[in-house]
C-alpha cells in the first residue's frame, strides 16, 4: 500500500532508481490512490499544499537567498551556513541550503501538478469546486516556478515517477507560469469557486484572485513584460491582504530558524549600503529591533515584523509591492514619470491604511525625475518594504546592482550579493542526466 507521495527527478532523504520519493503522509493516513481519486482527497491535498509551501518553501526561499543578498547573516557554525556566507565559487554543489530550496520547491510543484490533474477528473461534476482547486493548484505551481527562477538559471517544470526530467530555462519556465495564471484568472471569472472550496481551502485570509493577479504582475515583470505587469497590478485590490497563517502546531518557519534555532540574524539597515536606506524610515523599526550583536565586525539586529512569534502570519504578497511594480512597469516602458513618482510616493509617505501596518512615514521623493534615478528609488523602496520576503536576489539582478567578483573568495560583504544564481545540487546531477552545467557564479 502506497502512502501519499510525490515523485520528482531529484534525490533527497530517500533514494530510489533515479528519482526521489518525498512523503507527506503518514503510515496511518490515507493512501496515495485514496487521495487522488476522491473528492475529500482533493481538499486534503489543497490544504496540505498550502501548509507545505508556507513552511518548507517559505523557509528556504527567505533564509538562503536572504544570506546571499546580505539581508541575513548566517551565524550558525553548521558548515552549510558559512558556505552561503562565503558565496562566490566557494559555495559548493553539496551545500544543504541550495539542496533544500531545490527539493522544497519541486516537492510543492509535484503536489500542485497532482491537484491540477486529478481535480479535473475527481470533481468533474462540480465545476465551481473544480475551478477553485485547479486555479489554486495553478497559483502554487506558478509560485514554485518563480521561487526556483529566483535562485536557478534552469530547472524542471514537470514531475514524474520516472525521474530524469528535462530542464528548461528560467524564461521558458516563467512563461509557463504566466500561462497557468492567465488561465486560472479566466476560469475564475467564468466560474467563481464554490463556497465549500472558499471555506475549506482559502479561509478568511487568502484571496485567490488577488494572489493570482499579484503573481501575474510579479512574474511578468521578471520576464520584462511591462504592459502586462502593469495591467495585472491594476487588478489587485490594495485594501485587502492574503497571508500564510501559523499556530503552535504549524509554526512560523522564520521564527523557528532565527529565534529558536539561532541560525541567522538580520543585518542592520536592511543589509543595504549607505544611500539605499533612510535613517528615519519607519520600516526599520517594523522589521528590526534590539538587542544588537556584533559578529565579525557587523552589527546584527533582532528580528521583528512578521517573524518574531511562532504564530505570526507572513504575507503572500504585500500591497506596496504592487504599487512599486506599477511604478517600475511605467518607468521601464517609457511611460509618464510623474505617474511613476505618484506610485512611489504612495509607498514612501504612507502613514495609515496599509493592511499589514507597514508605514515608512517618509517625505515625498525629491530626487531627479529620470528613469535611472526613479528605478534606483524603486529598488530602494522594494528592499525596505519587502525585507525578508525572498525577493531581493531577483531584484538585485533585475535592477543591475553590482555583480559579485568571480575571483575573490569569500565575496566581501561590500558586495550586495555574493552569487547571481546557485549551482545545481549534487543529488540532482547524480540522478538526472539532463542537469546542465553550473553557472560561473
CB 315 within 8 A of CB 389: yes
Instruction: Give domain 5-417's CATH number out of 3.40.50.300, 1.25.40.390, 2.60.120.200, 2.30.30.180.
Output: 1.25.40.390
Residue located via cell numbers 495585472? 232
Share above pLDDT 90 across residues of the chain, in percent, rounded to a whole number: 88
For the chain, domain boundaries: 5-417
Sequence-ordered list of residues with C-beta below 8 angstroms from that of 407, at least 6 positions apart, any chain: none
Least trusted range by pLDDT, from 154-158, 237-241, 408-412: 408-412
Q: Which pLDDT does position 7 carry in this prediction? A: 34
Q: Reading across the β-sheet that carries 19-23, which strands appear in turn?
A: 5-8, 19-23, 15-16
Does the pLDDT of residue 18 top 60, yes or no? Answer: no
Distance CA(275)–CA(272), nearest Å, equals: 8
Does the pLDDT of residue 6 top 70, yes or no? Answer: no
Least trusted range by pLDDT, from 75-79, 243-247, 279-283, 349-353: 75-79
Q: Which pLDDT does position 19 carry in this prediction? A: 34
For residue range 133-158, list pLDDT tens digits in order.
999 999 999 999 999 999 999 999 99
Does the pLDDT of residue 10 top 60, yes or no? Answer: no
Does the pLDDT of residue 21 top 80, yes or no? Answer: no
Distance CA(74)–CA(258), nearest Å, equals: 9
CB 156 within 8 A of CB 425: no
Beta-ladder partners of 294: 299
Does the pLDDT of residue 12 top 90, yes or no? Answer: no
Q: Which pLDDT does position 2 carry in this prediction? A: 34
Q: Which pLDDT does position 29 carry in this prediction? A: 57
Comparison of pLDDT for 20 and 201, the residue scoring more: 201
Does the pLDDT of residue 423 top 70, yes or no? Answer: yes
Mean pLDDT of 94-113: 97
Query: pLDDT category, 265, cuts 50, 70, 90?
Result: very high
Does the pLDDT of residue 4 top 50, yes or no? Answer: no
Does the pLDDT of residue 69 top 50, yes or no? Answer: yes
For residue range 165-204, list pLDDT tens digits in order.
999 999 999 999 999 999 999 999 999 999 999 999 999 9
Does the pLDDT of residue 160 top 80, yes or no? Answer: no
Q: How many helices (H) and strands (E) does the chain have?
A: 17, 11
Q: Are strands 154-155 and 19-23 parallel, antiparallel or unpaired?
A: unpaired
Share above pLDDT 70 across residues of the chain, in percent, rounded to a whole number: 92
Number of other residues whose CB lies within 10 A of the CB of residue 34: 16
Query: pLDDT category, 52, cuts 50, 70, 90?
Result: very high
Least trusted range by pLDDT, from 99-113, 150-164, 333-347, 418-432: 150-164
Q: Which pLDDT does position 420 carry in this prediction? A: 98
Distance CA(370)–CA(349), nearest Å, equals: 20
Does the pLDDT of residue 322 top 50, yes or no? Answer: yes
CB 188 within 8 A of CB 120: no
Instruction: Record the pTM.
Output: 0.93
Closest alpha carbon to 20 in 166, 157, 159, 151: 159
Least trusted range by pLDDT, from 159-163, 209-213, 278-282: 159-163
CB 314 within 8 A of CB 58: yes
Query: pLDDT category, 33, cuts 50, 70, 90?
Result: confident
Amino acid at each position: 500500500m502506497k502512502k501519499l507521495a510525490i515523485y520528482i527527478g531529484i534525490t533527497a532523504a530517500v533514494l530510489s532508481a533515479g528519482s526521489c520519493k518525498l512523503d507527506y503522509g503518514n503510515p496511518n493516513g490515507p493512501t496515495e490512490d485514496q487521495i487522488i481519486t476522491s473528492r475529500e482527497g482533493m481538499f486534503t491535498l489543497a490544504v496540505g499544499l498550502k501548509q507545505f509551501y508556507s513552511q518548507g518553501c517559505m523557509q528556504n526561499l527567505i533564509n538562503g537567498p536572504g544570506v546571499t543578498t546580505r539581508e541575513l547573516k548566517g551565524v550558525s557554525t553548521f558548515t552549510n551556513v558559512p558556505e552561503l556566507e562565503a558565496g562566490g565559487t566557494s559555495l559548493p554543489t553539496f551545500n544543504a541550503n541550495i539542496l533544500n530550496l531545490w527539493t522544497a520547491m519541486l516537492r510543492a510543484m509535484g503536489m500542485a501538478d497532482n491537484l491540477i490533474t486529478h481535480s479535473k477528473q475527481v470533481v468533474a461534476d462540480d465545476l465551481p469546486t473544480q475551478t477553485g482547486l485547479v486555479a489554486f493548484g495553478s497559483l502554487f505551481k506558478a509560485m514554485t516556478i518563480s521561487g526556483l527562477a529566483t535562485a536557478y538559471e534552469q530547472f524542471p517544470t514537470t514531475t514524474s515517477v520516472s525521474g530524469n526530467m528535462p530542464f528548461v530555462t528560467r524564461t521558458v519556465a516563467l512563461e509557463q507560469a504566466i500561462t497557468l495564471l492567465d488561465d486560472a484568472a479566466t476560469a475564475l471569472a467564468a466560474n467563481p469557486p464554490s463556497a465549500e472550496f472558499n471555506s475549506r481551502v482559502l479561509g478568511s485570509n487568502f484571496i485567490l484572485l488577488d494572489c493570482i493577479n499579484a503573481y501575474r504582475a510579479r512574474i511578468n515583470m521578471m520576464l520584462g513584460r511591462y504592459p502586462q505587469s502593469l495591467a495585472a497590478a491594476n487588478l489587485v485590490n490594495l485594501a485587502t491582504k492574503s497571508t500564510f497563517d501559523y499556530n503552535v502546531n504549524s509554526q512560523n518557519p522564520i521564527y523557528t530558524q532565527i529565534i529558536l534555532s539561532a541560525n541567522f540574524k538580520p543585518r542592520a539597515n536592511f543589509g543595504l549600503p549607505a544611500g539605499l536606506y533612510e535613517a528615519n524610515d519607519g520600516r526599520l523599526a517594523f522589521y528590526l529591533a534590539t538587542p544588537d550583536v556584533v559578529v565579525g565586525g557587523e552589527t546584527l539586529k533582532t528580528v521583528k515584523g512578521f517573524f518574531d512569534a511562532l504564530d505570526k502570519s507572513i504575507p503572500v504578497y504585500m500591497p506596496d509591492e504592487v504599487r512599486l511594480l506599477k511604478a517600475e512597469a511605467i518607468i521601464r516602458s517609457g511611460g509618464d514619470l510623474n505617474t511613476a513618482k505618484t506610485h512611489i510616493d504612495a509607498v514612501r509617505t504612507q502613514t495609515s491604511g496599509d493592511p499589514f501596518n507597514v508605514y515608512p512615514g517618509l517625505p515625498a521623493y525629491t530626487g531627479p525625475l529620470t528613469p535611472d534615478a526613479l528605478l534606483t528609488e524603486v529598488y530602494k523602496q522594494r528592499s525596505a518594504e519587502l525585507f525578508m520576503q525572498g525577493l531581493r536576489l531577483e531584484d538585485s539582478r533585475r535592477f543591475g546592482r553590482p555583480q559579485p567578483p568571480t575571483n575573490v573568495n569569500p565575496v566581501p560583504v561590500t558586495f550586495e550579493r555574493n552569487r547571481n544564481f546557485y549551482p545545481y545540487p549534487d543529488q540532482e546531477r547524480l540522478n538526472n542526466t539532463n542537469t546542465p552545467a553550473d553557472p560561473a557564479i
